[in-house]
Structure 1
Amino acid sequence: MLGDAPFGISVVPQYVNLSHEQMLRSLSFHEAGHAVVGMVVGINCARSSLFQDEIEGEFCWTGRTVWGKSEPSCFHFAAMCAAGQVAGLRQLEEAGLLSCEVRKWADAPHDRETAIHSLAGSGYEITLEGPAPANGATWSQVTMYAEALIGQYWNVVTEGAEALLGSPALSLSGDQIAQAVGIANPPRVT
């Protein structure tokens, strides 16, 4: 089981040459990628949100998807972590916005580090280079699986991103996302 407390994934705020609307759209796809893939692999989604944060006296936009207590496989948890970046990059590419600068902005090392460090406590190892360990996977394997799921559920991720962007406070519960996209939000483990 992955933790008794809700677990959050956050996009680290950075600056990039995108319009306000382009940035929010990309962030919404990033968070919808986490939410949809998480639900598909059996992780309860508590909430996805976009919000402003203050860093060194300046405000910027970021996002977070929070998870309820769940019992996914370690590989599925890692794929959920990778799915945000995969979805965000796909949306930017389809919109014709994926320059080197934007790709760097959309890189999500915090999600990769979340997977690596959270799962290490369970004895599951994710390596960045070399062969897969006997008790884990490579980040490349995890990302390829996340890419396959994002590809399979792209219309659902798009609906989730649109629902998040259309919500009054740029925040939806996992159940609201599930209802908007027509998939089930797995129940929390008690």
Structure 2
Amino acid sequence: MTWHLNDDGVYTRHEQPPGCWLREDLGMNAEDLTRHDAHHEAGHAVIALLRGMSVRRATLMPNDQHAAHVEFGPWEGPWWSYAVMLAAGERAGERWLHEAGLWTPERAWNAERACGSDRRKAAETVPEPATLIFGALPAGTQPQHNVAHYQTLQDEADVWLRVRWPSVQRLAAAMIEHRELSAQQISDVAGIPLTKAPAPANAQVEQ
């Protein structure tokens, strides 16, 4: 896949549409934006549970600023698992756009750019001397053991989401209905057992 350099120096999977500008609402009405954000956050939560992370709660307070997030307890496992979980939100949101018949190049690019905080957190989790890259590799080179491309994380997230997509759909629906879910409720709805006791959050993934 070719990653595209945007005008501001950021690389994206989707090419920056000519004349397109960033829109907080992704060019959708409030109801559809809420549904998108719910699937994004459900993607985070489901992969977190599958990876054995401590999920504390998920909240969805719809407005035009994507006020949705999942809170986690301490995580001392592999950085790769945490980074895949971060990538899963973006991938779940895009899958939902396709399934809802709302995918357009402009909307997909906007949604991708809205995930900048997840990408920054993923890069921050990588221990030195490893590096996470988002753009093109230098000509003639391949990722090495200490160089990872974000697309590799996204591809792995896609595999997990494909297997557990019904869990994501159920969890997104529950978030829309209840607005806030506890760790046990997240586990029950997703059908994935909690592997660690809920703990005070020290990490928060925001849409």
Local SS of the residue matching 2:65: strand
Local SS of the residue matching 2:66: strand
1:74 alignment partner in structure 2: 79
Aligned-pair CA distance for 1:137:
2.1
Local SS of the residue matching 1:126: strand
Q: Which moved more, 1:133-142 or 1:18-27?
A: 133-142
Counterpart AA for 1:173: S
Q: Distance in 2 between matches of 1:161 and 1:74?
A: 26
2:191 alignment partner in structure 1: 182
What value does the CA root-mean-square deviation take over the aligned residues?
Answer: 2.1
2:159 alignment partner in structure 1: 148
Q: Which moved more, 1:142-151 or 1:99-108?
A: 99-108
Q: Percent identity?
A: 26
| Pairing of 1:8-157 with structure 2 (within 5 A) | 14-52=24-62, 60-107=65-112, 108-120=115-127, 123-128=129-134, 129-130=136-137, 131-157=142-168
Q: How many residue pairs get matched?
A: 170
Highest Rg: 1 or 2?
2
Q: Deviations over 1:72-100 (max 9, x none)?
A: 31111110000000000000110110112
- By percentage of residues, which structure has more strand? 1
1:9 alignment partner in structure 2: none
Q: Distance in 2 between matches of 1:140 and 1:159?
A: 26
1:162 aligns with 2:167: no
Do the aligned partners of 2:79 and 2:125 also contact (CA within 8 Å) in 1? no
Q: Distance in 2 between matches of 1:189 and 1:174?
A: 6
Unpaired runs of 5+ in structure 1? 1-12, 54-58
Local SS of the residue matching 1:177: helix
TM-score where L is the length of structure 1: 0.81
Runs ≥4 residues deviating over 4 A = none
Q: Distance in 2 between matches of 1:181 and 1:141?
A: 25
Counterpart among 181, 185, 196 of residue 172 in structure 1: 181
TM-score where L is the length of structure 2: 0.75
